[in-house]
Amino acid sequence: MKIISTIDELRDQLRGQLRTAFVPTMGNLHEGHLSLMRLARKHGDPVVASIFVNRLQFGPNEDFDKYPRTFQADVEKLEKEGVYVLFAPTEKDLYPEPQEYRVQPPDTLGNTLEGEFRPGFFNGVCTVVTKLFSCVQPRVAVFGKKDYQQLMIVRNMARQFALPTEIIGAETYRAEDGLALSSRNMYLSPEERAEAPALYAALNFVAGEMRAGHLDTFSVERDAMAQLSSRGWKPDYISVRKRIDLQPPSAGDLAQGMPLVVLAAAKLGTTRLIDNLEI
């Protein structure tokens, strides 16, 4: 595996490649990330991964400085997966001058759910993904469904800008007890780790209620949040949305059986976890 930090060297290395499959990451890789590499290989060749902790998507009170960085262990994992190139730029490599041009998603999608609680987050995501796509020029790129809203925003962005990159969504990789794998799980204490699957249980409660015909989404969401709160969580949201655009479903949507997804974000101790479940 070649480890490359500069854009020019990356472009030289990939020149003439027409089927590149790309997996962007922020490092601290776990089995969920590695499953994305395997899926990428099914859709293209060579497989290129990136590791870059993107300052633009962190708010002023978020965990940019303490975000887990495990570069050597990540390299070893990627080598075992047969990744061809690891693009690992420094901030100076990727942003040699202040990144004053930004890519902003529409308010209806970028300022709801995660965007409401993390203002500017998706602005940072869209900007760095656009720049990474410009550097790698992949035919396909793989993103995990755990970040459901991010996947939708990136997919819509690629379509509206007519980018020559197909966006592939990978199913959420879960531990045996249901917890979605996440780099932030390492922040959990042993007691919190034992409690963490309750978030997925709350999503299953909402899904079960909806499937049973309890279509008062506000009541079901409120009950699920109350359940988490009673266990010591601090929920930001548990919300039933339409899969097609992540807007709240109308009574007509519910009556017609519109495909739905329930999304959640909540703090357990000092660790904020997100998850979702399609209904």
Q: At what angle do helices 31-43 and 71-80 cross, to 10 degrees?
A: 40
Can you name the residues that pair with 264 across neighbouring β-strands? 238, 275
- From the list 109, 92, 113, 103, the residue with the least C-alpha distance to 57 is 103
For residue 279 the two structure tokens come to 């209904």
Q: Tell me the H-state helices in the chain.
A: 7-14, 31-43, 71-80, 91-94, 107-110, 114-117, 121-136, 148-160, 190-195, 198-211, 217-230, 251-255
* Residue 30 annotated in active site: no
User: What is the rounded distance in angstroms from the CA atom of residue 168 to the CA atom of residue 23?
Assistant: 10
Q: Catalytic residues, which ones?
A: 33
